[in-house]
Structure 1
Amino acid sequence: MSRAELARRQAELLHALLADGPAPAGFDPARLKVEAQVLRRKHGRVLAYQRPELAEALGERYGPLFAQFTAGRPKKAAERSGAYADEFVTWLIEGGHLPKPRRRLADRLRRR
């Protein structure tokens, strides 16, 4: 198999795992769905570790809300976790799951 073919197949697999794409030839679609769910839960745990205040504010709602968010907006392979977390926070605020912050992010960054 050529490098180009291998890269194409890897991209198909990542698309299936991270973005609910179709299962590539030779892969069991049901097994890929299970693996995709595992990866999303793992990413949710990583995000909760990186942003404990967010997980604390949401409590038991954190897991289900993160699953709902990722179902509509899967993380891209090359996307940084921090940017994805920021989108999750925006989604939570826009959906009424978190209150809108009193101060803008830029104001908080200037004070550091």
Structure 2
Amino acid sequence: MTREDLAARQAALLETLLTDAPAPSGFDPARLRIEADVLLAKRRKLVAYLRPDLPEALGERFRPLFDAFAAERPKAVTVRAREYADTFAAWLVTRGELPKPRWFQRRKR
């Protein structure tokens, strides 16, 4: 197997784990789904740690809303965790799930 082939297989595997894409050939889709769920839970937990205001404000809605956000915007390697958490918060405001922050309202005046 060439480096290019290996890189392509790794990219396909990563895409499956982060975006719910079909499993690459040679991989068990059920096992990949488990791994993808674990990675999603890890990101959700990290976002809750970095932005405890979000799960506090959303309550039971935090998990399904985060999962919907993560499905639309998989975390890229180049994006820091805090930036990802802040992007989630902005996404919530844009969708009307959270009120606009006070600093934003004051700046508009």
SS at match of 1:41: helix
Deviation at 1:16, TM superposition (A): 0.7
Percent of residue pairs identical: 56
Q: Which amino acid aligns with 2:62?
A: Y
Matches within 5 A, 1:7-26: 7-26=7-26
CA RMSD of superposed structures (Å): 1.8
The alignment's TM-score, normalised by the length of structure 2, stands at 0.82
CA distance in 2, matches of 1:83, 1:22: 28
Q: Give ranges in structure 2 of 5+ residues lacking alignment.
A: none
Partner residue, 1:110: none
Q: Give ranges in structure 1 of 5+ residues lacking alignment.
A: 108-112
Deviation at 1:67, TM superposition (A): 1.2
Q: Does 1:94 align with 2:94?
A: yes
Q: Does 1:54 align with 2:59?
A: no
Q: Note if contact 1:18-1:77 (Cα within 8 Å) is conserved in structure 2.
A: no
The alignment's TM-score, normalised by the length of structure 1, stands at 0.80
Deviation at 1:55, TM superposition (A): 2.0
CA distance in 1, matches of 2:5, 2:90: 38
Matches within 5 A, 1:42-81: 42-81=42-81
- How many residue pairs match? The answer is 105
